[in-house]
Chain A
Amino acid sequence: MTTFVSTITSRVRPAFAAINAKLQPVWDFLGQKAVKVPLATLGVLLLYALPILHLPLINTENSDFSGVLFTVGTYVLVAIGLNIVIGYAGLLDLGYVGFYAVGAYTVGVMTSEHATWPFFLALPLAVVVTMISGVMLGAPTLRVRGDYLAIVTMGFGEIIRIVARNTQWLGGAGGINSIPSPPDIGPEEGLFKIPHLSWEYGYPTLSGRETTFLHFGVLDATPYFWMVLTTIIIVIFADRLIKNSRVGRNWEATREDEDVAELMGVPTFRFKLLAFALGACIGGIAGSMYATRIGFINPPSFPLMLSLLFVAAVVIGGAGNRWGAILGAIIVAYLPERFREFADWRLFVFGIVLIAIVSFRTQGLFPGRAKRKALEAEKEAEMLEEEVENA
């Protein structure tokens, strides 16, 4: 099995390298700022248009496509947040669903259970609350050894769920009902309506369905998708800024070797705590959006399995690389919806994929650039060493 895989990779890799070399002018052309920015803008516009285009092949026939896109969006958001914790800071957090739940419950409590705040007011509060809960969880646990951390965080995820179940103030086992949708933006009848396309005959026609611009209804998930997509874009920009700053470098140093980082003057504990808090608040945002979209949350909505699926998303895509994590999230959330008939097999297949990926491609499908370079450098050093030995 092992030799089989390695022969395949040894044959495929040079072929890919050759293709890549031929495409180099294309990459150079695309890399220019004058080309890159308009292209990226176009791509983003396409993403925004996805729920109304209903493109063939990627459209989901059996479930509402906008709803699926929204779910994928929340997973992507979660993956970006978890990537900060696992990928950048190197902390394996198996209780991430706890933060997701804290965000959702904050919104539930503030908009329905105990107050009638509008969603957009509850959202910042949810961010603050999840951040505080991240610090509260991180402060005691981040001092324990790495592999214990995984189990302790997992325990906390369960504690949050059980506490929610046993606390009447949080709705108990019944959960919180009738969480309102976010308030509509714009005039009563909506700014304008956008028709949906249908590809029934192989070419696009108007399907008769319309989305009222920025009206958050119960039936149409499209505005929710736009909301989550906008959030994702903002978070990606913030993530880029922070990754390329001193903070990001400190995280990387802490991840690679904590003792050395500490000796070099990095207050590792504080930076780990920061990663935890930032990751938590992004998870909280995703949870709040989930709550306002679904309108109903109860403790079983936040099972431990969800935590493990989130981790699977980040690891499959490649921890440390935000695009890898995003792709992992899309794989984990979208494929089971697209291929509904296999949805039952989801965890089973992910289990196999997890084992296969860490065994044969330890860095995930798309490792981060720094990691890739580090691997190449390591290989080069090995080759040099061999040469020295032979000489």
Chain B
Amino acid sequence: MEFLLNNFTELTITGLVLGSVYALVALGYTLVYGVLQLINFAHSEVFMWGTYGVVWILMMLGVSGSATIGEAAGFLVIALIAAVLLSGGTALLVERVAYRRLVRQKAPTYIILISAIGASFVLSEAMGLREKIVGLFGLQQVLAPYVQNSRNTSIMPLEIKPQRVFEFAGYNVKDTEVLIIVSALIMMLVLDLFIRRTTFGRQIRAVAQDPEAASLMGANSTNVVRLTFLIGGIMAGVAATLYMIKVGATGFNVGFVLGVKAFTAAVLGGIGNLRGALLGGLLLGIAENYASGILGSEWRDVTAFALLVLVLLVRPSGLLGETLGRARA
């Protein structure tokens, strides 16, 4: 308890940083849920592939050592593009392979959930077995730096050194933290505008509200679903880049825990509600930090699960309510 009070500012700010990443990943869950009323179980692996996009592109560019954000800005932008492309591509693949057929057949929810679990297995194991998969084609030698020790943690070749920007209530705020929170907020703002102002956004909202009526009005629901997955993937790619700036390492199994937390964030804010995802993510990040401040860091991961159960019991529709369709026009 004393620890919490003494480090209140630090815990709050690092919580917000973590929460921003959760919020961006939560968007993927919330969008797909809003449109299809399905939990995209494989979304966490989409995020994980994005983190590898960052690692691989930096390896490809031959970058190494450590740098501040300003020095590495160019590389970070390239890494961001790579992560977004890889995550977006993976998300489209998930939609095509695990969802489209079953959604069209109107299969029961739990069947589609199992299909998504299968996709999640395949994506995470494909990453964990990439050395062997590449080996099937005799390419281990060529691709060695990218695939060796595929079951171990991969370190980002470029280490980002955080720099102190200003002091706030006794805590030195670092530029990485500012960058992460601000970029997450900007992404949320852009997405919110996109959903509210553009034709695509209107189509997404229409399909979320009533798929049949929407298709009668000329919205191609297959395209809309694909677009939804793509946007979720892009957001996951941004989240992956920010995550790598903060954490600097990834592994084939990082997706799962982060995915559950992001899902919790989405439910907490009201699944299907974009602003809810942001609120839920930030709240969860802070709550986790406070809880580990009080109980010790070994209880950190329990917080998210306990909070999830609590929210579902007390207020199943989340803090802000759960509609994408009724999002203010």
A-to-B contact residues, CB < 8 Å? 2, 90, 92, 94, 140-141, 143-148, 150-152, 154-156, 158-159, 162-163, 165-166, 304, 308, 311, 315, 344-345, 347-348, 350-355, 358-359, 362
Contacts and interface: CB of A to CB of B under 8 A. Distances in A.
The B contact surface, by secondary structure, is helix
A311 B306 CA distance: 23
A150 B256 contact: no
A163 B303 CA distance: 12
A351 B102 contact: no
Contact of B110 (A141, A146, A351): A146
Contacts of A308: 117, 121
Given A145-B316, A148-B267, A358-B102, A348 B113 contact: no
Interface of B: 38-39, 97-98, 101-102, 107, 109-115, 117-126, 129, 132, 256, 260, 263, 267, 296, 298-299, 301-302, 304-306, 308-309, 312-313, 316
B115 A347 contact: no
A138 to B, nearest CB: 12
A135 to B, nearest CB: 15
A110 B194 CA distance: 59
A92 B301 contact: no
B125 A158 contact: no
B122 A352 contact: yes
Contact of B302 (A146, A162, A311, A347): A162
Nearest to B126: A348
A315 B132 CA distance: 28
A147 B109 contact: yes
29 contacts: A90-B110, A92-B110, A92-B114, A140-B313, A141-B309, A141-B312, A144-B313, A146-B109, A147-B38, A147-B110, A148-B312, A150-B110, A152-B308, A152-B312, A155-B305, A155-B306, A159-B306, A162-B301, A162-B302, A308-B117, A311-B117, A315-B114, A348-B122, A348-B129, A353-B118, A354-B118, A355-B115, A355-B118, A359-B101
A151 B260 contact: yes
B118 A165 contact: no
Contacts of B117: 94, 308, 311, 351, 354
B229 to A, nearest CB: 16
B309 A354 contact: no
Nearest to A308: B117
Contacts of B102: 358-359
Contacts of A144: 312-313, 316
B115 A358 contact: yes
A92 to B, nearest CB: 5
A261 B316 CA distance: 23
Nearest to B108: A362
A300 to B, nearest CB: 13
Given A158-B260, A162-B298, 4 more contacts: A92-B113, A347-B125, A352-B118, A358-B114
Given A154-B260, A358-B115, A163 B308 contact: no
Q: When A and B form their complex, which 6 residue pairs have the shortest distance between CB atoms, in order from nearest?
A: A351-B121, A354-B118, A155-B305, A351-B122, A348-B125, A355-B118
A344 B308 CA distance: 33
B305 A156 contact: yes
Given A155-B260, A155-B308, A166 B299 contact: yes
Given A148-B267, A155-B305, A158-B301, A351 B119 contact: yes
B83 to A, nearest CB: 23
Contacts of A159: 302, 305-306
Contacts of B112: 358
Nearest to A315: B114
Contacts of B312: 141, 144, 148, 152
Contacts of A347: 121, 124-125
A143 B110 CA distance: 16
Given A145-B316, A146-B109, A151-B39, A358 B118 contact: yes
**Residue among B114, B125, B126, B260 facing the most chain A CB atoms (10 A cut-off):** B114
Given A140-B309, A347-B121, A147 B115 contact: no
Given A148-B312, A155-B260, A166 B118 contact: no
B148 to A, nearest CB: 15
Contacts of A143: 313
